[in-house]
Copies of this chain bind each other. A is one copy, B any other.
Amino acid sequence: MLKTKSHFVAPPKLPPPTPVVDVGDAEMRIAQDLLFFAYRDFTNVADRVLEELGLGRAHHRALHFIGRNPGITVSGLLAILRITKQSLARVLNALVDQGFVSQAPGYEDRRLRLLTLTEKGKALEQRLFDSQRKMLSMAYRTAGPQAVQGFRIVMRAMMDKGALAYMDGTGPAEDA
């Protein structure tokens, strides 16, 4: 930028922060910040473990949702992660090749590849979970049960209907 002067413009008088129009606006701005920082710090704790193993967040997400839903299909996982088949394939092949995930054809429909964690996969997922559990349970204890209940309500209110049904066990992963 120091070389390419075109990037510079006349010094503006610093304006006030993004203006707040109605009463709820300030709260919405704060909520944006809350989501960014909480998610940033929540994922960061697991990232340290993943780095050791040469894996990424994508692998963690797959491990997590396979662990939570043994026998989930590839389609189910795709719907949850909202990525393309090709993108999931890379991650999934790595996990299968390294013995973290196993695949088995469905019994009724043999086109399906039912995904499960191997013992090795469970161990890794547990280790990743532990890192996040430490910080989460600390936060929960600090906040208290009433705050936790409010947290859950707001988070659920932000989610898609499909994701909600999935979480409640009243809908298939395919709709999450």
Contacts and interface: CB of A to CB of B under 8 A. Distances in A.
Interface in A119-176: 122, 125-126, 129, 132-133, 135-140, 142-144, 146-160, 163, 167, 176
A139 B157 contact: yes
B70 A32 contact: no
Contacts of A61: 36
A68 to B, nearest CB: 6
Contacts of A27: 140, 148
B35 A42 contact: yes
Given A28-B129, A32-B64, A159 B38 contact: yes
Copies in the complex: 2
Nearest to A113: B1
A12 B116 contact: yes
B151 A139 contact: no
A157 B150 CA distance: 14
Contacts of A12: 102, 104, 116, 118
B70 A14 contact: yes
A34 B160 CA distance: 11
Nearest to A93: B7
Interface string A1-26: 10000111111101111100000110
Closest 6 CB pairs of A and B: A150-B150, A139-B157, A147-B150, A11-B104, A151-B154, A147-B153
Given A18-B125, A35-B39, 4 more contacts: A9-B103, A17-B68, A35-B42, A139-B158
